[in-house]
């Protein structure tokens, strides 16, 4: 008897069934919703509770409805099983199409990914996201400025407020090293899961961290910088003309702190 072939990537399920054309129309034409992105290895993910809390909190904020964590876990497990994958990039989206009274959950499965660790260059851009604490699909501004930075020869964009305050990258959090502590910008931004896990693990790794305003004209006070997202951590070599030292020892310490975070079974 032949083993069934794994579903092709990218694979998508809506509420536990393979995506139909009608389902995909929901995602394409009605993208008012929220999501979280995670890297799954051997059926496990770091910070699963943080992902589930993010989804539930965003669902309540947007739709005034809870989103049960156990239901989300079951849907992720089902999608991974259907895709025939235990190592994957997974996204969980919540939608509430017009006329519906329950949240539709879309789970997408792609191949596993990891952020390239080559030092990044970032171009500052004047952009602040609406409700930045919510992770939402279809963020035109972030995508536009990321492409604008790429066309200018940079790897990414650094989002800034009108007063020059740095908030985050186009799809990353930004951290700075002043020689003593990791400094996260004290500004409206999404609190990424990797960032949250680092903050959780820093005390045990002997790393101090704090939040304070970071401005473009004050970048010279920092020795090093780095970015984080669901795919990992990478150093930053410059923002505009402000250059940073690529501190290999610091990056090892950050990686070690992240590796301390436990894996949770989905």
CATH of the domain at 91: 3.30.470.10
Determine the length of the chain.
Answer: 266
**Are the beta carbons of 90 and 38 closer than 8 angstroms?**
yes
Residues 91 and 185 in one domain: no
Q: Is the pLDDT of residue 76 over 70?
A: yes
pLDDT class of 3 with cuts at 50, 70, 90: very low
**Are the beta carbons of 254 and 226 closer than 8 angstroms?**
yes
Mean pLDDT of 23-52: 94
**Are the beta carbons of 218 and 228 closer than 8 angstroms?**
no
Is there a domain that residue 79 lies in?
yes
| Cβ atoms within 10 Å of 82's Cβ, excluding its own | 19
Q: Is the pLDDT of residue 124 over 80?
A: yes
How many Å apart are CA 165 and CA 182, to the nearest integer? 17
Domain boundary, last residue among 68, 92, 110:
110
How many Å apart are CA 46 and CA 175, to the nearest integer? 20
Residues 146 and 164 in one domain: yes
- Looking at the structure of the chain, the number of domains it has is 2
Place of tokens 């290895």: 41
Domain boundary, last residue among 84, 110, 136:
110
Residues 124 and 243 in one domain: yes
Q: Which domain holds residue 35?
A: 11-110
Domain boundary, last residue among 110, 136, 161:
110
Please provide the DSSP assignment of 124-159 as one string: EEE---SSTTS--S--HHHHHHHHHHHHTT-SEEEE
Phi, psi of 36 (to 5 degrees): -135, 150
Mean pLDDT of 171-177: 97
* 37 DSSP β-pair partners: 91
Strand 224-229 relative to strand 232-239, pairing: antiparallel
Q: Is the pLDDT of residue 2 over 50?
A: no
pLDDT in tens, 211-264: 999 999 999 999 999 999 999 999 999 999 999 999 999 999 999 999 999 999
């Amino acid at each position: 008897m032949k083993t069934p072939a794994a579903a092709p990537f990218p694979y998508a399920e809506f509420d536990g069934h393979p995506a139909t054309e009608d389902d995909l129309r929901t995602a394409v034409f009605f993208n008012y919703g929220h999501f979280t992105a995670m890297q799954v290895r051997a059926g496990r993910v770091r910070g699963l509770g943080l992902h589930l809390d993010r989804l539930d909190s965003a669902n309540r904020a947007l739709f005034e409805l809870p989103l049960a964590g156990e239901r989300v876990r079951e849907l992720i497990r089902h999608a991974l099983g259907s895709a025939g994958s235990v190592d994957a990039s997974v996204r969980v989206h919540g939608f509430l199409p017009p006329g519906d009274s329950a949240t539709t959950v879309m789970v997408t499965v792609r191949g596993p990914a990891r952020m390239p660790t080559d030092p990044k260059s970032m171009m500052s851009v004047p952009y602040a996201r609406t409700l930045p604490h919510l992770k939402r699909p279809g963020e035109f501004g972030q995508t536009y400025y990321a492409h604008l930075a790429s066309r200018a020869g940079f790897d990414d964009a650094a989002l800034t407020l009108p007063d020059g305050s740095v908030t985050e990258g186009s799809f990353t959090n930004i951290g700075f090293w002043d020689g003593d502590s990791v400094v996260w910008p004290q500004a409206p931004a999404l609190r990424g899961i990797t960032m949250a896990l680092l903050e959780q693990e820093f005390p045990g790794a002997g790393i101090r961290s704090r939040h304070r305003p970071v401005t473009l004209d004050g970048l010279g006070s920092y020795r090093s910088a780095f970015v984080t997202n669901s795919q990992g951590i990478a150093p930053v070599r410059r923002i505009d003309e402000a250059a940073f030292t690529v501190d290999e020892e610091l990056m090892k310490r950050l990686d070690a702190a992240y590796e301390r975070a436990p894996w949770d079974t989905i």
